[in-house]
């Protein structure tokens, strides 16, 4: 079976300073993969590379038989400007841009889909609320509703369960399991190792470079986790840029 995602010696970074070094490997269609590592390990950088926000400094990222339009991205909630004057309904509806276009109108069926997505994440009655009035858990539910509307083959979730209550985590994790059952490819950056062990069969452990990648029980060993922490602590953010990296176009 052809890979859904393929990394070919990819290096990603900012201003030619690498944050993820020389990652190679493949993700199969329908995989449920946790990406873990200490703070500063490069998880968000990797995800920005996958969705095309960040171009590789070297190497390439190939999307297999899907296009960039078939990738749904849930950023960290801190990246959302909560002061922007937009309603929950309109923000969630932006998940339909792939089918309607950025300036496309919403017909009755599109409005029904938005209401169905909000209902699926437990936000009935929140349609007219400004996004700035939402709690952390409500914000995450709204972000998941937008991903639902995108109906994508590849779903990339950056810290989807961070700083939310247990009930919200359980509800949203059920959606992740649903996507997995539907044979969608799901990647999630996570910190809770118990949650990863219980729900994610595959794990990539990053510490700027890959430490281990494979079945979760083999990756999340105490030795590997210690190694990842030590590698991140030893990394010099002031180090010179890599001289051997050249800008490359993501595939």
Average pLDDT over every residue of 126-144? 96
Q: How does the average pLDDT of the chain come out, rounded?
A: 90
For the stretch 95-110, pLDDT in tens is 998 666 554 567 889 9
**The domain over range 1-66+153-165+178-251 is classified in CATH as 3.40.50.300:** yes
For the stretch 198-217, pLDDT in tens is 999 999 999 999 999 999 99
Residue 251: pLDDT band (50, 70, 90) is very low
* pLDDT for the residue numbered 161: 94
Q: Is the pLDDT of residue 153 over 70?
A: yes
pTM of the shown model: 0.89
Find the helix packing angle between 166-181 and 136-150, rounded to 10°. Answer: 10
For the stretch 7-30, pLDDT in tens is 999 999 988 788 999 999 999 999
Q: Is the pLDDT of residue 44 over 70?
A: yes
Cβ atoms within 10 Å of 119's Cβ, excluding its own: 12
Average pLDDT over every residue of 84-93? 95
Average pLDDT over every residue of 104-122? 90
What are the strands, taking DSSP E only, across the chain?
A: 5-14, 17-27, 32-36, 58-62, 71-74, 154-158, 185-189, 202-207, 209-215
Q: Which residues pair with 32 in a beta bridge?
A: 186
> Which residue in 28, 11, 33 sits closest to 204, CA to CA?
33
């Amino acid at each position: 079976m052809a890979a859904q995602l393929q990394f070919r010696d990819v290096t990603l970074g900012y201003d030619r300073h690498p944050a993820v070094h020389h990652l190679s490997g493949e993700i199969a269609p329908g995989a449920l993969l946790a990406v873990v590592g200490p703070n500063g390990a490069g998880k968000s950088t990797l995800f920005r590379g996958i969705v095309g926000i960040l171009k590789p400094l070297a190497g390439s990222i190939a999307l297999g038989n899907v296009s960039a339009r078939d990738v749904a991205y849930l950023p960290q909630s801190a990246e959302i400007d909560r002061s922007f004057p937009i309603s929950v309904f309109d923000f969630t509806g932006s998940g339909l841009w792939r089918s309607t276009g950025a300036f496309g109108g919403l017909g009755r069926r599109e409005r029904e889909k938005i209401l169905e997505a909000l209902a699926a994440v437990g936000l009935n009655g929140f349609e007219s609320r400004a996004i700035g009035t939402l709690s952390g858990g409500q914000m995450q539910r709204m972000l998941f509703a937008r991903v639902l509307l995108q109906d994508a083959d590849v779903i990339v979730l950056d810290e989807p369960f961070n700083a939310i209550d247990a009930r919200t985590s359980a509800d949203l994790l059920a959606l992740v399991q649903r996507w997995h059952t539907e044979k969608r490819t799901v990647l999630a950056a996570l910190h809770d190792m118990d949650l990863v062990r219980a729900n994610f069969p595959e794990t990539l452990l990053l510490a700027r470079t890959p430490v281990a990648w494979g079945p979760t029980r083999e990756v999340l060993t105490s030795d590997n986790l210690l190694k990842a922490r030590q590698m991140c602590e030893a990394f010099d953010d002031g180090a010179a840029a890599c001289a051997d990296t050249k800008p490359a176009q993501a595939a």
